Structure 1
Amino acid sequence: MERTCWLLAFVLLLQVLLTEAAISVGGGIGVNIGNGGGRVWIGGGVNVPPPSGSSRSDLNSAYSALQAWKSAITEDPLMIMKTWVGSDVCSYRGVFCADAQDGMGPFVSGVDLNYANLRGTLVEELSLLTDMSLLHLNSNRFAGTVPDTFKDLLALQELDLSNNQFSGPFPIVTLYIPNLVYLDLRFNSFTGPLPGDLFNKKLDAIFLNNNQFGGQIPYNLGNSPASVINLANNKFTGNIPSSLGFMSSKLKEILFLNNQLTGCIPEGIGLFTEMQVFDVSYNSLMGHLPDTISCLNEIEVLNLAHNRLSGVLPELVCSLRSLVNLTVAYNFLSGFSQDCTKLIFRNVGFDFSSNCIPGRQMQRPQPECSGIPGIGLNCLRIPGGQPLICGALMGNMEANLSSTPSSP
């Protein structure tokens, strides 16, 4: 067991070191998935007190901020702004107040204008709401960019700007909001690369799907402590960073689907024994599937479809106890074990169509299977000879990593 775990740790560490040697180590500055499935990250429930030494924003400041924002709203079909009249901001529709425990009176604790269909822009004065813990603007028609003053939103934990018309590069200012744990920018028109610092922040949920982000996924993806990351439906290129294997063990869902990713699925995927959703469909990934996929004991949705993967589906994958849906269609797989044929009796969705599996129906025409793509691709794998042991992978890997000298 120790020998097998050590070998996996060595292989993964070698991958990361090789990647970092090729990339300059520098600064990071530069669910709903289309019609598909996915889970919704549920935030809230955590109260972050104002940072020590900060001054509480009073309702007069809140009034100034909200009236400035009201003046930047150009369309309001539901007439929400008609309630934003007078100095009692706590009576405004979509504005929520809380009573201060220090006796300093009520304050604006959140703004929730989801599905309000407002058109307009965000204004700098919103930074006066320094005690606001959530700002939810899902499904409106806000455009432009995120003001730099948002860095002063010291208590903000949840920022949801999804399903709007924001554009431009990744809003760097969001990385300077000190207590942010939930960032949702999906279904907008953001473009360009992601800053590496995004994955150095203590964000628990990162939703960036359905934008126009491009370039390579930052190599330090593995630094993120997030439990949910959605990068689907963008224009990312290059490999899935090998540092994936060093992410927090609490990772539940990660989605890379519908990008332009190439190379191998990292061997480190098997370290996430609590992962429930892994979707890399609609990319150009090649090579054999890593044996460590059979360690994903809690996986429910495993979607590898519409890639260029080859080899045999690992025997233990079809025996994973929590599987609800396994999709490997439209690849170049050459076979699977008898256990996979039993999935139908477990009421597990299993789609293996359009592969190169002899004797099975709905497979590719033989001429397409004569030239397997990526046949010479060198995907680092655990050396064979012993059965794969999943239990202590993370501990052994972390031990090996901590004993490795840091790069100068």
Structure 2
Amino acid sequence: MVVLNLQNNNFCGILPGIYMEQSRLKAIDVSYNQLKGQVPRSLSDCTMLEILLLGNNRFSDTFPSWLGKLPRLRVLSLQSNGFHGAIGKPESSLNFRKLQIIDVSFNNFTGKLPYEDFQSWTSMKVANLTFDRDNVYMVAVISTPLRYFNYFKIDVSYTLEMTNKGIKTLYEKIQDHLIAIDLSSNKFDGEISEVIGNLKGLHLLNISNNIRIGPIPSSLGNLTELESLDLSQNGLSGEILQQLLQLTFLTFFNASNNHLTGPIPQGKQFSTFENDSYLGNTGLCGVPLTKKCKISETLTQPPLNSEQGEGSNFPNKFDWVVIMMGYGSGLINEIVIGNELTRRNWSGFSRIWKKAVKVKVERGK
């Protein structure tokens, strides 16, 4: 047996802990039952396991960090249970090294976000650049011996339910490249560390409805693959940083019900987000909100363009003085002088000035 699918039944009691060494199990799905107690430690013998779905039960346990030793585990869902306590430091830097999707939402986890674990989730640090990645899915290959042929192979797709872009979504097939973290609806506290910006392959990140404080880290701008970012219902403060404009794939953004202040970033993907992305932040201003920003809030250094970059021909303070001299005399030719100076043509200054004076004298006759 390769796939054990017992989801959506009325099984109750504890999950049996009979898993032999050299188990061939690749997927276990016991979600949507009434199982309780602890996660059986014998699951650590399932070294071929890739998918473990325990969501929507009544498990009461601490975070099963010992599952990090499973060398092939890619998807772990513990959502909507009674898991509790802090997620401690990993025993090894190789813990969960193949993990792509983790969902611990709607539990009672406390303490800081597991930043030490973020460092070991190496599969989340690299974006999948495969051209046809949208057509590749996580599957279990089942080989059945036949009478006249060696083997008959069947691909069994894995399924998963998780929140995506604010909506509970059932994935009848899990895209092979999908990388997602859902830590929402727990009691995680403290600031969001810049370390989270190392997970550059992330597509979905949800840390809503916790007890987060402090600013939005600028390193979130490094998550250029991100499609959904939910920071709502925390205690975040400070501004929504301009670095988030770098998230060009972002189609869902929710920062509502925090203590954010200042102007909302304008342009790119942020021009598509509606009011509900920012509600409950009385200090925010700018489009799409009706509250306008004060001049002091919107004054920023204008970005350099191709004509204003370093080493360009754009006039400096001295150049403008020369241009104004031309206006004062009323001579068009002297404006040309000012423009010539902005091009740093210092060597031709004397010749141009004499020519201008000559023209002026001739016109005066």
| TM-score, normalised with respect to structure 1 | 0.52
| CA distance in structure 2 between the aligned counterparts of 1:193 and 1:81, rounded to whole angstroms | 31
Partner of 1:252: 227
Q: In the TM superposition, what is the alpha-carbon distance from 1:170 to its structure 2 partner?
A: 1.9
Check the 8 A contact 1:220/1:241 in 2, yes or no. no
CA distance in 1, matches of 2:14, 2:118: 41
1:133 and 1:385 map into 2 onto residues whose CA distance is 47
**Paired residue for 1:230?**
206
Which string of whole-angstrom CA distances, capped at 9 and with x for unpartnered residues, describes residues 319-370 of structure 1?
A: xxxxxxx6x48xxx227xxxxxxxxxxxxxxxxxxxxxxxxxxxxxxxxxxx
Match of 1:26? none
CA distance in 2, matches of 1:133, 1:181: 10
Residue identity over aligned pairs, in percent, reads 28
Q: Is 1:280 the counterpart of 2:255 in the alignment?
A: yes
1:265 aligns with 2:240: yes
- TM-aligned CA distance change 1:173 to 1:310, over 3 Å: closer
**Using the alignment, how far apart are the partners of 1:143 and 1:279 within structure 2?**
30
Which residue of 161, 180, 189 maps to 1:214?
Answer: 189
Detail structure 1 runs of 4+ shifted over 4 Å in the superposition. 80-85, 171-175, 297-302
Q: SS state of the match for residue 165, structure 1?
A: coil
Deviation of 1:149 (Å): 2.8
Displacement, 1:196?
A: 2.4
Correspondence 1:78 to 2:54:
no
Against the structure 1 CA distance between its residues 386 and 190, is the aligned structure 2 distance closer, same or farther, given a 3 Å change threshold? same
One-letter code of the match for 1:243? S
Name the residue aligned to 1:101: none
Inter-CA distance 311–281: structure 2 relative to 1 (3 Å threshold): closer
The one-character-per-residue Cα deviations of 1:270-315 (angstroms, maximum 9, x if unpaired) are: 1111101010000000111223xx11179566601110234432xx
Question: For residue 139 of structure 1, what is the aligned residue in structure 2?
Answer: 56
User: Do the aligned residues in 2 keep the contact of 1:277 with 1:299 (CA within 8 Å)?
Assistant: no
Corresponding residue for residue 157 of structure 1 = 74
Secondary structure of the corresponding residue to residue 25 of structure 2 = strand
Decide whether the 8 Å contact of 2:205 with 2:228 is kept in 1: yes
Q: Which runs of 5+ in 2 are unaligned?
A: 125-178, 306-365
Number of aligned positions between the proteins: 241
Gaps of at least 5 residues in structure 1 are: 1-58, 67-76, 91-104, 314-325, 336-371, 388-408
Q: CA deviation at 1:116?
A: 0.9
Distance 1:383 1:148 in 2: 47
Quote how far apart the aligned CAs of 1:154 are.
1.1
C-alpha distance in structure 2 between counterparts of 1:275 and 1:83, whole Å: 39
Answer 1 or 2: higher relative contact order, Cα 8 Å, separation at least 6: 1
C-alpha RMSD over aligned residues: 3.7
- The equivalent position to 2:268 in structure 1, one of 295, 298, 306, is 295
Q: 2: CA distance between counterparts of 1:135 and 1:264?
A: 38
Q: 1:352 corresponds to which residue?
A: none
User: Relative to structure 1, is the Cα distance of residues 187 and 84 closer, same or farther in structure 2, using a 3 angstrom cutoff?
Assistant: closer
Determine if the alignment matches structure 1 residue 123 to structure 2 residue 43: no
The one-letter amino acid of 1:281's match is S
Residues 1:186 and 2:105 are matched in the alignment: yes
- Do the aligned residues in 2 keep the contact of 1:215 with 1:235 (CA within 8 Å)? yes
C-alpha spacing 1:198/1:218, structure 2 compared with 1 (3 Å):
farther
Work out whether residues 253 and 275 of structure 1, in 8 Å CA contact, stay in contact via their aligned partners in 2: yes
The 8 Å contact of residues 11 and 33 in structure 2, kept in 1 or not, is answered as no
Q: Show the 5 A alignment for 1:331-370.
A: 333-334=291-292
TM-superposed deviation, 1:222:
1.6
State how far apart, in whole Å, the 2-side matches of 1:283 and 1:311 are.
Answer: 14
C-alpha separation in 2, matches of 1:191 and 1:83 = 25
